[in-house]
Amino acid sequence: MIFPTLFVILCILFVPESPCYLIMKGQHEEAQKSLKKLRQHGNIDDEIMELTATVKESLANRGGITEVIKTHYLLHLTSGTAGIAFCWSSPVSPKLENLDDNPLGFILSVDQSSWLASLTSLGAVVGPFAGGYLGDSIGRKRSLISTAILSALSFGLLAFGKNLYIYYIARFIGGICIGIFLTVIPMYIGEVAEVRNRGVLGGLCGVFIVSGQLFCFAVGPYISIRMFSITCMIFPLLFLIVCTLCVPESPCYLLMTNKHKEAEVALKKLRRNANVTQELTDLTATVKESLSNKGGILNILDTEYLRRGLAIGGVMMITQQFTAISVILFYMPGIFETAGSSLPKEISTIIVGTTQVVATLVSSVIADKLGRRPLMLISTIPSSICLLTLSLYFYLRTIMDVNCIAWLPIVALMVYIFFYNLGIGPMPITILSEIFPPHAKSTATSITIATCFLVSFATAKIFPILAELLNIWLPFLVFGIGNGLGVLGIWYILPETKRKTLSEILKCLKQK
């Protein structure tokens, strides 16, 4: 304790504040005094001028990143809302299996529960096409604002509905909103992010999605269905306010609609830098070239490098869904109950949800260092092994006493969730925002996201039926094998996009 105390005294008496920090805060006289004390001579005019210029340039460059990241944090409230909407049924379904906190007044069958869980994925198949159309017709910002209103409506129906079909409609609407959010957000990211911070900004989407899911796991089991749904409704309403007031429209969209002055204003706001002339000129040329090309589905299928991009997106999304992520998120409490875990299922789901957030944060930090392709491969192989381990555990449970390894399901799921969210979970959205040119982005992204949720719907709908008719180990075996095959597809088809411009990525797609 003596040493830190001694340091505090010496620091207070003898150590001046950094001149750079004082200049950053506008305290120029104090900065001069500090520099004089450090140099111990009176002639510091030239040095203070150079230091001031350096700090000014540093603040200008840092400001662009800060403003872009702030805008993306606000935008990704929609990603958090998507995560909540996706996992809403996880804490709610067990409550609908008894009459204590059941607004419907009857216990749901296995088939009804599977529809309640999977209809969100079915709605999300429709959502991307609506998102692509809205993004190009009314703009990225207005699309997100309109969808936030629709999302709040879906939670309102879940809060006050007392009919199963109202629940079905609300879940389907919520799925449409997820599809729109996850289509428009990558479009916006790809258009406003700089090459140096694109991986971090793309990773934010995954961080907010899993944070929304953790919110469901941590709050949903402990309050009523109505109060939980009302609480969920706060998030899209909050986004509605902050997006309207603080988020600029995409400069690319403004240029596409010939609003050049508004595009310059939006770009200056995002960069916090008055000198955006060169970037605006480059962006105008890119948009002009993009508009001269057709971006419909037939054009994509007729163009080899766009077909290759579509194939990359399809392989990523199908592999992602064959990790059984939708099944695990929708039915996690039931899976833990079936596994006979010694921990309460509510606590187990919170542990898994927390693991998701940690892994996705790690992924967002290292995406621009390690690369997208290595993360996808590092992530998918252990995920497949964990699914096969779960299948083996559930099979052994049918033929022998497994109390001595009752810890295995939660460990396997934690390892699975960690590696899933390290790569195969968040990276596809980031890569989708990078591999398509502007004229094809909305159509190609819509098709890819729709494919993802179509597979999600199929797996979520079939899983509980197979688990009841046959045994739970069989679906996990199928998922493990399918995920393993996906590793081969990723290895063969996925290029590296780390720190590459759009032209470099397209050149790579055209060469292979």
H, E, C per residue of 296-336: CHHHHHHCHHHHHHHHHHHHHHHHHHCCCHHHHHHHHHHHH
Burial class of residue 298, CB neighbours in 10 A (0-12, 13-18, 19+):
exposed
pLDDT band at 444 (very low <50, low <70, confident <90, very high): confident
CA 494, distance to chain mean position in Å, is: 20
pTM: 0.74
Phi, psi angle pair for 425, to nearest 5°: -80, -65
pLDDT above 50 for 32: yes
Residue 4 confidence (pLDDT): 53
Q: Identify whether 161 is part of a domain.
A: yes
Contact 102, 154 (CB under 8 A): no
Mean pLDDT of the chain: 80
What's the number of CA atoms in the CB half-sphere (13 Å) around residue 147? 36
Task: Give me the sign of the Cα torsion angle 450, 453, 459, 460.
Answer: negative
Residue 64 confidence (pLDDT): 44
Q: Identify whether 378 is part of a domain.
A: yes
- Give residue 222's domain range: 70-247+296-332+340-511
pLDDT above 80 for 196: no
Q: Identify whether 132 is part of a domain.
A: yes
* 249 three-state secondary structure: coil
Q: Which of 1, 83, 33 is nearest to 429 (CA)?
A: 83
Number of independent structural domains in the chain: 1
Q: Identify whether 495 is part of a domain.
A: yes
Q: Identify whether 271 is part of a domain.
A: no
Residue 63 confidence (pLDDT): 45
Model confidence pLDDT, tens digit, residues 91-143: 888 888 888 778 888 888 888 888 888 899 899 999 988 888 888 888 888 99
* Among 94-103, 173-182, 407-416, the range of highest mean pLDDT: 173-182
Q: Identify whether 261 is part of a domain.
A: no
Model confidence pLDDT, tens digit, residues 330-366: 777 777 777 666 677 778 888 888 888 888 888 877 7
Of the candidate ranges 56-70, 89-103, 243-257, 416-430, the one whose mean pLDDT is the lowest: 56-70
Q: Identify whether 407 is part of a domain.
A: yes
H, E, C per residue of 438-489: HHHHHHHHHHHHHHHHHHHHHHHHHHHHHHHHCCCHHHHHHHHHHHHHHHHH
Average pLDDT over residues 400-428: 83
d(CA 200, CA 193): 10
Helices then strands, each counted (H, E), the chain: 24, 0
pLDDT above 90 for 297: no
Q: Which of 208, 262, 88 is nearest to 159 (CA)?
A: 88
- Residue 450 sits in a domain whose CATH number is 1.20.1250.20
Q: Identify whether 36 is part of a domain.
A: no
* 147 three-state secondary structure: helix
Residue 372 confidence (pLDDT): 82
Contact 210, 76 (CB under 8 A): no
**Helix ranges (DSSP H) in 76-109:** 77-87, 89-92
Burial class of residue 130, CB neighbours in 10 A (0-12, 13-18, 19+):
buried
